[in-house]
Amino acid sequence: MSATATARRWVFAGALVLAVLAALRLVVPAGSVPGRMLASVLDVGYASSVLRLTVPIAFAALGGIFAERAGVINIGIEGFLIVSALTTVIVARRLPWAGVTGPAALWLAFLVGVLVSVAVAAVFAVLVVRYRSNQVIAGLAVWLIALGLAPFITLTLFDSSSPTIDTFGTWSVPLLSELPVVGPVLFDASPTVYMLLVATPLAWYALRYTRLGRRIRACGENPKALATGGVSVSRVRYAGVLISGVLAGVGGAGFTVGQVGTFVAVGQTSINGRGFLGIVAYLFGNYNPFAAVGGAMLFAGFDSLQLRLQQIGALDIPAELFGILPFVVVLVTITLVRRTRVPAALGEPYEGEE
Amino acid sequence: MDTAVSLTDITKRFDDVVANDEVDMRVERGAVHALLGENGAGKTTLMNVLYGLYRPTAGEVYVDGDRAEFDSPQDAIAAGVGMIHQHFMLVEPMTVRENIALGWEPVTHGGLKTDDARIDTEVRELSERYGLGLAGDLDTPVEQLSMGARQRVEVLKALYRGADVFIFDEPTAVLTPQEVEELFDIFSQLTAQDKTIIFITHKLGEALTAADGITVLRDGERVGTVDAAGTTREQLAELMVGREVLLDVDRAARGASGDDTRLSVSDLAVTDDRGEPAVHGVDISVRGGEIVGIAGVDGNGQEPLVEAVTGVRDADAGTVRFDGEAVTGLSRRERLDRGLAHVPGDRQEQALVMGFNLVQNAVLGSQHRPPFGRRGRIDWGAAREHAEAVIEEYDVRPPNPDLPARSLSGGNQQKFVVGRELSREPDVVVAAHPTRGVDIGSKEFIHERLLAMREQGAAVLVVSASLDEVVQLSDRIAVMYEGSFVDVVPGDAATEEQLGLLMAGEQPDEPVPTGAGR
């Protein structure tokens, strides 16, 4: 993938956000209702909220990158997010019975959430690598099963369809959090935000400079080249999918215990398409971790925007219409930004090994 | 001299099919040995046995005098056997460095980082020692390199893995004539340092030029081993095919009729799938009774050009005319109805439905018109007759119209496609790589049929990566480079060397006489 193509995407994303805001600024007289709306968007709270909402989408995107660059279509990433989110809530609610309480319980719940996501990823990996199932169908199955089981399990275990738990809250970094604007946004944030800030460059580095990373990239492009180099394609694909499970698990569990403190087992669940947005984010970012997280941020920006516009309630528009805003942006983005370079061997089961 | 590789009585059976039947082969250290044979003769199978991809059903492999039992290519690599496949085993978006070290990456920092510095030192040293000239390209993604350079990356990769014996599978298939010469220079560099080379080919000239010894396979059996010195092409061809073969087409002796321009292309511009301009400013006209060949290294716009002429792809600008009538805006079907026959370059992707049987494949492109299509229904009886006629005339084997196209060998698929297309009684024939992957015998026949089309007054446009073929068939040759014609020369005036330079985008020192011109 060329660096210039990636840069072009970034410029496009930034320009889109700025253009929307600038257009609003110009059109809207200060002090009017829309003016107040605009003011409420252009503040520190908005920035923090965007960053928070970015986390699950971005982790889904990073997870997707690892699977797809290894050559496995991971359309079930939404399912990974759902199972890890649900597991986290269950564990966090059950642990106090075992005498574990407070932050320790939350972290344990988080960890178990990630592990269950990895377990689901392992099953998925066996299906698509070992048994060469159709990757799209297996992925959809993961999602549909998660979507079907989640409300059932929730209603069986709890008396509400949206059980709540505590959250990590925010961690302030001493001194740095005192900085204007940047401080409250970046350094007084949920630990999951910090995880993302660490995971993104790590993912980029891993793909570019580590042995496994290079093999993962080769595996998605030309698995035969890898096999003739004496490396097991299956193993690399397992590794890619399992890493995908870890990252998606962090996304789902982190979203639940790091931000919302609940799992809503209604409709699309509280995950509500964030895994799918993650997929669009990495396609948008051309499989580059930084650009993918940038894409996630773009969608989160519009997600947060629609939430705020709803809260203000100044416009007489049904909430559902606001709700589709991020998805409209997705459609516009994938229409306008087209040159995604998909790994050449993506979705093809590797036949060379017995 | 000692023996580097020795294969004794190798038999390889796949279920009931015998791919190799008690084949013997010995190669001395520091020698270049050609493994010659037609498609399906078992050359690649034999080399896959040596490279550990297959285990022989019977027989023994010796490398450096030691009995070798390879379970996988890794074992072969460990024993110093490297293979450069016909389709390069390279990861195109990755850099030369990443490709060379793939699977063998040294690491530092406790495994957290590949040791690129170490890779670089070693690769530079090897590149220098064997004159491969890649030291400056380590950071270049492989996809930006020419085919010749990619092949050198493969050689370097094998050297990096410690190969002493190099197997090249059809190494010249993707190269320009100049690159072929460079490749043979590399052979010399390698053998000068006691490396051993075995190369698979079906091209007689190459075997004679580059090899010391030649082993000829036919139908899985070794039919002879000869010294290159003192052997003629005719002798080799006869060994290879098992009968006397007419190696050169005698175009001049064949009549040609018609004088009007039947196909003309003017100022054509085409964009490829990636949105890049692939063809620009192309002008050519082909008269009835004329064959115009397009020479060029694969990927210089031949494919989009053919697609635009045949209506598979829309042109951005310019006009295509059949018999003076503009067809640029017409669909593929409308062009077929106006007398076009199209042999696509990729038979499996574009010409055949692999899961359909030959009866179904025989009517593709004509399914809508009599005698096959009547009121939206297909007359399968007529289709079967047609399929049987094509199979008979073109000697498609096995001659069973109920077999799916998939079960035929590539050469037979090609014969079937050529047969189907030429049986349309076309006025305009566009044939891309008409003999790609077919053996000498069938090639002779397909050439014969194309000349017959010429005789009947059709305008024939042939695209081929094989310079021989273009030179033999064409009345005029257009050389294509980076999307346009660098020159159009009379077929019998140009030497291969001049054409080779034109194909590489350079002008030859001595200009080719342009008798006919454009």
**pLDDT one-digit tens code per residue, A105-121:** 999 999 999 999 999 99
pLDDT confidence of residue B246: 64
pLDDT at residue B471 greater than cutoff 70 = yes
Alpha helices in B142-272 (DSSP H): 147-160, 177-192, 204-210, 233-241
Rounded distance, CA B503 to CA B505, Å? 5
From B26's Cα to the closest Cα of chain A, the distance in A is 25
Is residue A349 assigned to a domain? Answer: no
Rounded distance, CA B500 to CA B496, Å? 6
Q: For B397-426, what is the mean pLDDT?
A: 86
Q: What is B3-241's CATH number? A: 3.40.50.300
Domain B261-356+426-503 has CATH 3.90.1010.10: no
CA of residue A261 relative to chain centroid, distance: 17
Task: Report the residue of chain B nearest A236, measured CA to CA.
Answer: B103
Rounded distance, CA B263 to CA B270, Å? 18
Rounded distance, CA B272 to CA B270, Å? 7
Question: Which residue among B91, B107, B275 places its CB closest to the CB of A218?
Answer: B91
> For residue B83, which residues of chain A lie inside 8 Å, CB to CB?
228
Tokens of B334: 């409308």
The total number of structural domains in chain A stands at 1
Q: How confident is the model at residue B128 (pLDDT cuts 50, 70, 90)?
A: very high
**pLDDT one-digit tens code per residue, B184-241:** 999 999 999 999 999 998 888 889 999 999 999 988 889 989 998 888 888 888 888 7
* DSSP summary character for residue B513: P
Note the ipTM here.
0.84
pLDDT per residue of chain A (354 residues) written in tens, 0 to 9: 455 566 666 677 777 776 777 677 677 776 666 676 666 666 777 888 888 899 999 999 999 999 999 999 999 999 999 999 999 999 999 888 777 778 889 999 999 999 999 999 999 999 999 999 999 999 999 999 999 999 999 999 998 888 989 888 888 888 777 777 677 777 888 899 999 999 999 999 999 999 999 999 999 999 999 988 888 999 999 999 999 999 999 999 999 998 889 999 888 899 989 999 999 999 888 899 999 999 899 888 888 887 777 776 666 677 777 778 778 887 887 777 667 788 888 888 887 654
Tell whether B383 is within 8 A of chain A (Cβ): no
Tell whether B73 is within 8 A of chain A (Cβ): yes
- What type of residue is A314? A
H helix or E strand, kind and range, residue B169 = strand B165-169
Structural domain boundaries in chain B: 3-241, 261-356+426-503
pLDDT confidence of residue B267: 92
- B462-to-B291, B302, B349, B447 alpha-carbon distances in Å: 7, 10, 19, 11
> For residue A224, which residues of chain B lie inside 8 Å, CB to CB?
89
Rounded distance, CA B373 to CA B353, Å? 18
From B74's Cα to the closest Cα of chain A, the distance in A is 5
Q: How confident is the model at residue B261 (pLDDT cuts 50, 70, 90)?
A: confident
From B348's Cα to the closest Cα of chain A, the distance in A is 18
- B260-to-A60, B289, B457 alpha-carbon distances in Å: 64, 9, 9
Whether omega for the bond prior to residue A326 falls within 30 degrees of 0, making it cis, is no
Q: For B384-402, what is the mean pLDDT?
A: 88
What's A148's domain CATH number? 1.10.3470
pLDDT at residue B480 greater than cutoff 60 = yes
Decide if B437 contacts B424 (C-beta within 8 A). Answer: no
Residues spanned by the domain of A10: 3-23+33-336
Task: Report the residue of chain A nearest B74, measured CA to CA.
Answer: A230
Q: Which of A174-183, A193-202, B373-382, B427-436 has the lowest mean pLDDT?
A: A174-183
Alpha helices in B62-210 (DSSP H): 73-78, 96-101, 116-129, 147-160, 177-192, 204-210
Is residue A126 assigned to a domain? Answer: yes
Question: Which residue among A218, A228, A339 places its CB closest to the CB of B94?
Answer: A218
What is the reported pTM? 0.77
Name the A residues in 211-270 with CB < 8 Å from any B CB: 211, 214-215, 217-218, 221-222, 224-231
Kindly determine whether residue B102 and residue A209, on different chains, have CB atoms separated by under 8 Å: no
> How many separate helices (H) and strands (E) can be counted in chain B?
16, 24
**pLDDT one-digit tens code per residue, B181-191:** 999 999 999 99
Is residue A51 assigned to a domain? Answer: yes
**Which residues are B226's β-sheet partners?**
B214
Kindly determine whether residue A218 and residue B111, on different chains, have CB atoms separated by under 8 Å: no
pLDDT confidence of residue A10: 67
Is residue A82 assigned to a domain? Answer: yes
Question: Which residue among A210, A215, A225 places its CB closest to the CB of B113?
Answer: A210
Tokens of B491: 């077929």
